[in-house]
Amino acid sequence: MLGSPAIPIVENEDVFRIESVGMDWDIGVMVYEPEDSDRIPVHNGSPIGLFLLHGGSNDFRATEGFARLIASRLGYKVVSMTYPGRLYLGAADRRWPGETIREDGSVRTPIWVEGEFIDRDQYELHEDLSLRSRYGVRVVARARPGTVFYNRLAGWPAAFEDGMKQACLRHLGGEFSVFVHGHSTGGPFVSMLSQRVENIRGVLAVENSPFGYIQEQARLFTGNMERRDQGLPDKTLEESRREDRFDDLSIRTWREEARYLGPEVAMKEGGQGLMRLPQLIEEVFESWAKVKTQANFKCEYPVTRNVRSSLELAARVTAERLSLSEVDTEQLVARYLGMTAELRGSEVKPVPPTLFGITESSRDHPVEVYKEVILPMYGAMSPAPRVALTQFGAGVHDYTKREPDLPMGVAPAVVSQWDEAIAEGFFDV
């Protein structure tokens, strides 16, 4: 694929403003498509479009090379959206300046609408040591009640849903056959979107977390796998349930790079990898220097980890700000809680076919959790969508990461499989 002739493509940014839960939000997407629209392949008579979400605490630049690969080699139209607040609207190149945690005690915060900034007096900083073995010291900025920051964090889930739907409407309207992919944290959001946009035909789920309630069970399973290796007893779901607050913004540092590099080296090299610890430390900081110009803050856990108490509180805070009636308040609460699971009932669009993929050395996606938790839970849906799982023989969680003889990791193999699955009817139901 990398050696094949490239289709000439054009790239355009679209930053548009929406209104959601009584506030304005600026939504940014990058669009990659063939110069000649006739070169876009078709699925069941409609041109193919891909709605793409980055993962973690990044922005669209984390998937830029991947989007260009798909547009220039397969010819799909790709719409790559940045999460609300993650786009740095203060510079044309969208590169966030400086460090995420500054010497004056302030931290990097979202820009949800151009010209609006979160002042230091709108939050308190806290250090979370509860998951230190996995994350190191986590720094969170906790919004003070009544501030713009607090209200934005409470309204953000609704703005994300509305922004995704508007992005699809603007660039992948009803004439397209749309497929969706969300890397890692982006997975639960595109899974949610898949039932809310009529012309979405399938979910392309490589290293893609599933719906929040399934991910909650998956994390329990993988956590207990690790505990058994350490000779510790299993935890129950209640004991393992996360308590992430809706009003907390997690601030990322170099520790995020270490969180992935350590396990990946362990899976590839075993304990021998620790013999080059100084080199690994250098690699962590080299990697951080490259990625720290992306957003590197995160507040999605209530949706992606099914933290229902936080979602309900966020909805009620938003309803109170809007002075909603009791009936409308309960409808908003139901909307928020509904973001973590598939829509159910005879009157809703079923979950479309989902093609799962994992890499050989994934930090977050062991094959066992798919066999024991994720695939069975998809099978229990009514109606159950068509699903399949592929484990690639190389690669890490960042599936575009360069490896020996693989300049873009397993990404070319991944999108080749996607193209074949679409052409051969996997998503035709």
- What are the domain boundaries of the chain? 9-423
Whole-number Å distance between alpha carbons of 211 and 290: 30
Whole-number Å distance between alpha carbons of 216 and 124: 28
Phi first, then psi, for residue 52 (nearest 5°) are: -125, 135
* Cα-based distances in Å from 338 to 47, 146, 238, 303: 31, 26, 20, 9
Whole-number Å distance between alpha carbons of 311 and 300: 10
pLDDT value at position 196? 98
pLDDT value at position 56? 80
pLDDT value at position 328? 98
Assign 405 to helix, strand or coil: coil
Which residues, 6+ apart, have CB-to-CB distance to 209 below 8 Å? 182, 184, 185, 187, 188, 215, 218, 304, 364
pLDDT value at position 263? 87
Which residue's structure tokens are 């479309």?
Answer: 352
The CATH class of the 9-423 domain is alpha beta
pLDDT value at position 371? 97
pLDDT value at position 267? 87
Counting as low any pLDDT under 70, the low residues of the chain are none
Share of the chain above pLDDT 90, in %: 88
Residues 314-372: pLDDT tens digits?
999 999 999 999 999 999 999 999 999 999 999 999 999 999 999 999 878 999 999 99
pLDDT value at position 107? 97
Confidence (pTM): 0.93
The 3-class secondary structure across 180-209, one letter per residue, is EEECECHHHHHHHHCCCCCCEEEEEEECEC
